Amino acid sequence: MQDLPFDLFATKSLEYVLILGFLAALLVFWRVLNRRVPNAVTPLPAGPHASTKSGWFQLALERVYHPGHAWAQPREDGLVTVGVDDFAQKLVGAPGAIELPRVGEHLHQGGAASRFAIGDKALEFVSPIEGEVVERNEALFADPGRVNRDPYGAGWLYRVRPAHFDADAQHLLADESAAAWADSMEERLRKQMSPSLGLLLQDGGVPVSGLARVLAGERWDEFARDFLIR
């Protein structure tokens, strides 16, 4: 039998085409995996964090805290960024809408400054310092869930030009005092729990978002307000 002619160059060319096709497909696949999702939230760097004793709640260490669960972070430009802490967002859950103070509005330390609408109820959060509002986080109007996903970063509320930050800071909590306060809030919350829920969380569980509704039912807003108004 006569052997069929063997074209080595044609075979090699086919191999090269297949390899190039595979590499092109791999490049397309890599770009799909790494493309940016429109409107995706990229958490801002919030510095080191600390957890409460049971690990239920997080504190960002480079901030000072008002007992009403609002935090303040001074900036190099002299402004102060304000937000709510991890305890607050887990206690009340995801807001359907957020109301923020107007730019130019003068806030007083401990006075009502922002409002979270949740269902047919609303909760107010205090300002941790006195000063004039110079900027608001407009992204929260379209995406209020940022305060839950990243309360110390992309979920900030507004920025203030402080009237007298050093004096206000004397009434705020930082470092060890903030950690001790957060632990006391966790313990206070634990005492409000039913035995079954308390055992579940002590066994490694973490509080669900909207914990106030789990603990207090229809009167959850009164329950939460008792923690938030200080």
Instruction: Give the position of tokens 């000063």.
Output: 131
89 pLDDT exceeds 50?
Answer: yes
Q: How many CB atoms lie within 10 A of CB 197?
A: 17
What is the rounded CA–CA span in Å between residue 111 and residue 63? 19
Residue 45 lies in a domain: no
- Whether pLDDT at 165 is above 80: yes
Q: How many domains are contained in the chain?
A: 1
Q: Which two tokens stand for residue 226?
A: 């008792």
CA-to-CA dists, residue 135 to 18, 75, 160, 206, angstroms = 56, 13, 7, 34
User: Which pLDDT belongs to residue 7?
Assistant: 54
Over range 207-211, report the average pLDDT: 76
Domain of residue 206, residue span: 58-228
Greatest C-alpha distance within the chain: 103
Amino acid identity of 111?
Answer: G
Angle made by CA atoms 22, 27, 32, in degrees to the nearest 5: 125
Q: Which tokens sit at 35? A: 């493309």
Res. 24: pLDDT tops 80: no
Cα–Cα distances (Å) from 102 to 136, 158, 159, in that order, read 8, 9, 11
Residue 177 domain-assigned?
yes
**pLDDT tens by residue, 32-44:** 333 333 333 333 3
Q: With respect to residue 5, please indicate whether it lies within any of the assigned structural domains.
A: no
- Amino acid type, 85: D
The pLDDT value given to residue 16: 57
DSSP 168-186: HHTTSB-HHHHHHHHHHHH
Residue 2 lies in a domain: no
Q: What is the pLDDT of residues 95-121, one digit of tens each?
A: 999 999 999 999 999 999 999 999 999
What are the beta bridge partners of residue 126?
Answer: 112
Q: What is the mean pLDDT of residues 149-171?
A: 97
pLDDT value of residue 54: 53
- Report whether 83 contacts 160 (CB < 8 A): no
Instruction: Give the three-class secondary structure for 19.
Output: helix
What is the overall mean pLDDT for the chain?
80
Overall pTM > 0.85: no
Under the banding of pLDDT at 50, 70 and 90, the label for residue 88 is very high
d(CA 112, CA 191) in angstroms, rounded, equals 28
Residue 25 above 70 pLDDT? no
Q: Residue 71: give its domain's CATH number.
A: 2.40.50.100
Residue holding tokens 């407009």? 138
Selection from 134, 77, 141 nearest residue 107 by Cα? 134
- Alpha-carbon torsion 87, 72, 136, 45, what sign? negative
Tokens standing for 9? 């160059």
Sign, Cα dihedral of 94, 128, 178, 196: negative
Answer with the residue of higher pLDDT: 170 or 29.
170
196 in any annotated domain: yes
Evaluate whether residue 204 is within a structural domain: yes
| Residue 201, in any domain of the structure | yes
pLDDT tops 50 at residue 184: yes
